[in-house]
Amino acid sequence: MTNNSSDHNKMRDTQSHIKADSDRAYSFFAFFTLSLIVGAGYWITSFIMRPDDPLSTIIYYRYGDMDYFSSIFRVLDAGYGDFTIFEHQGKGVFTFPFMAQFPYQVMNFLFGKVGFVIADILLSGIRFYIIFLIVSFFTSKHSAIWAFIIFLLCSSQTASFMSQWVDIPDLWNFRIARNYVNSVYLFFSFYMLVKVVNQIDRDKITWSEFALLGLSLSLMLQASIHDAMILCSGAFIIFTFHTYQKLKIDMSWIVLGLVFLLCSSFFIFQQIAGSKEMHSLWGIYPHIRVEGIIVLANVPRSAIGYGFISFVIATFYRYLYVNNIGKIAHPDRKHSLFFTLGILFIVLLFFPHIFSAISRLGVQDHHFVYTYRIIEAIFQVSLILFFTDIVIIFLAKFSKKENNIQQKYDKAGAWLITVLLLTSIALTTYTHAKMHIERNNTTVQARVWHKDIGKHGGGWKKIQNYREDFNDLVRWLNKRESVQQEVLGSLDFQLGQWWVAFRDGYVYLPDTFASISKQSEIESRLFSFLKMHNISTSTFEKLLTSDYFIKRFHSLFKYQANALYTYASTLNEYPPEVLDRIYRSPFISMLHIPISEKKRILDAYKKHQVESFRLDIIVSVKETPYYFQPSPEYNYCRSYQNRTFDIFEPCSKLN
């Protein structure tokens, strides 16, 4: 009888476990599906609100940096060669790290323009899955539900809305590529780093985990070099500790290094074979003033406190794990979590300074702040684990019926999870719908530079009815007879990006971000284009005070000026009012062409003779400082116009 009862209990326990596993699987797939719907939110809203807009316009108005659009849709076709200039098509090597765009590039290659939509949706699902893996590693119950709550509440839109009442961490937003794409790689790298630390703690090393960490760090390097610097430095510190303890280099670290180098081989090839001029255009600069290094500390000082707290909590969990105290889940893993966070906060505080001092280089150092914000958000979410465990330990300590307390706590926790789940769904639905509706109600450019020419950060103010007139232009272009690979000339950078991405065309004025053209050719083409429009030297000089004009058509970040670096070796090259801003700028924040360099550019412009490059269509934007009509001597005639755009083509083609 006893044996039968025992067998019956075992069978009941087995059935209970099977049912629990089944419930967890159902909940995971349900929430994974909902995460895909969240990723589709912008597209669903757009197709409902703007059913007549071309798909290219809807993509064009999606949140993000437009600099990436041309490379997303064209770089694979060009074999990572030049895809913006007709005369250079397929030549050279595109040197910008590609993993931030890669999911969109692959989906576009497979499915065409619809692939952009598919990539958006899949990235949302992948983000949830990685958050699920992280949560599952530290908790034993309700992991899918908790992961989905974190996924929803920690989007920047919901976090921003809730900030008026409570501080919700911001783990992601919809901006391409930072941080909608980049943060996915960061989460993956962080997850693998914590798992490796946990394996070292338990002295149970598996090469596969180290290999995956090498892969994740390589992906991170090729998506965001700033995130990669921090994560790789954290891994190096952990490697140093482990090697010091073992008094030898463990083979697993060699595996990690080999996988990292192998997976980064294309990135290394890009940097070796690509144009070195592009590095200065993107914002890599040599420090010329040592005292400026002190100013580099962009990471908030709260990192000191967060790092200290992380190590204290890590020690607490280490004590519980070693002494087998408390009834909490996975204290060893939570020790690894907070220990890793503590290491990363230390790295964030000191690495930018060390890198700066050793290399004497800077590269858009403000991006380290974005890395810090995500690590900070992970830390804030991790504190929930800690406080939950404290409550469990406290209740168990003062209760005679420990199991009863645990059951009541689990029941209360189930109610809390339900409330949080419903709240997060409601908040996310509201905040994201509001954001998507506002975006679709945008009638001006997809991106504006609000201030006037001559003011820092200005040069491309709002143009009313731009979107409507842009749609009309797209429809007209789709109807007209045209040859393949047409070359567009325009001072509307966004139109140029659309032209390259969605018309499979080329631009007359090199894209300073994506083209491999040398600075001399960029200047020559710009001079020729302006001369064709009879632009005087004085008008050109005024254009050289526009951040928009300098960045998009002349030299991108080449003439940045900050406390660490100025293009001119002497500060006498800058007027007093500019010097004041330079001293107060610890990283790339302003552009200003030095006096002697501006004189060189203006002298070259005066002497320049128009060169013969292919130019099939000219688009000029009305009501802007960049509205110019081509000179009659070059035989371009108006072929189309609306309230915003004026189109000119060779007269011989129109006759």
pLDDT tens sequence across 304-318 = 999 999 999 999 999
pTM (predicted TM-score):
0.91
**Collapsed DSSP state (helix, strand, coil) of residue 304:** helix
Look at residue 611 and tell me whether its pLDDT is greater than 60.
Answer: yes
Q: Which amino acid is at 43?
A: W
Nearest CA to 446 out of 417, 471, 419 is that of 471
Per-residue pLDDT at 292: 43
**Collapsed DSSP state (helix, strand, coil) of residue 138:** helix
d(CA 7, CA 32): 37
The residue behind tokens 């809730």 is 162
- Band (pLDDT 50/70/90 cuts) for residue 53 is very high
Residue 450 sits at φ, ψ, to 5 deg, of -60, -30
d(CA 512, CA 434): 34
Half-sphere exposure at residue 117, Cβ-oriented, CA atoms within 13 angstroms: 18
Residue percentage of the chain with pLDDT more than 70: 90
214: tokens are: 């090498």
Maximal CA-CA distance, the chain: 107
Per-residue pLDDT at 36: 97
For residues 319 and 339, is the Cβ–Cβ distance under 8 A? no
Cβ-in-10-Å burial (0-12, 13-18, 19+) of 8 comes to exposed
Cβ-in-10-Å burial (0-12, 13-18, 19+) of 5 comes to exposed
- Alpha-helical regions (H) of 247-366: 251-263, 265-273, 277-282, 302-323, 331-359
Look at residue 557 and tell me whether its pLDDT is greater than 50.
Answer: yes
Alpha-carbon distances, residue 402 vs 140, 327, 393 (angstroms):
18, 10, 10
Q: How far apart are the first and last CA of the chain?
A: 103
The residue behind tokens 């749609």 is 471
For residues 53 and 502, is the Cβ–Cβ distance under 8 A? no
374: tokens are: 């995500």
d(CA 326, CA 391): 11
Whether the upstream peptide bond of residue 182 has omega within 30° of 0, thus cis, is no
Alpha-carbon distances, residue 536 vs 193, 342, 454, 521 (angstroms):
58, 58, 17, 20
DSSP state, 449? B
Give the strand pairing for 506-507 and 487-490: parallel
DSSP state, 1? -
Look at residue 152 and tell me whether its pLDDT is greater than 60.
Answer: yes
Look at residue 479 and tell me whether its pLDDT is greater than 90.
Answer: no
Mention every residue, 6+ apart, whose C-beta is less than 8 A from residue 69: 59, 60, 497, 498, 500, 501
d(CA 505, CA 70): 10
User: 620 has which bridge partners?
Assistant: 646
Mention every residue, 6+ apart, whose C-beta is less than 8 A from residue 125: 32, 35, 36, 39
pLDDT tens sequence across 86-128 = 999 888 888 888 899 999 999 999 999 999 999 999 999 999 9
pLDDT tens sequence across 55-91 = 999 999 998 888 899 999 998 887 888 999 999 988 8
**Measured in whole angstroms, how far is the alpha carbon of residue 250 from the centre of its chain?**
34
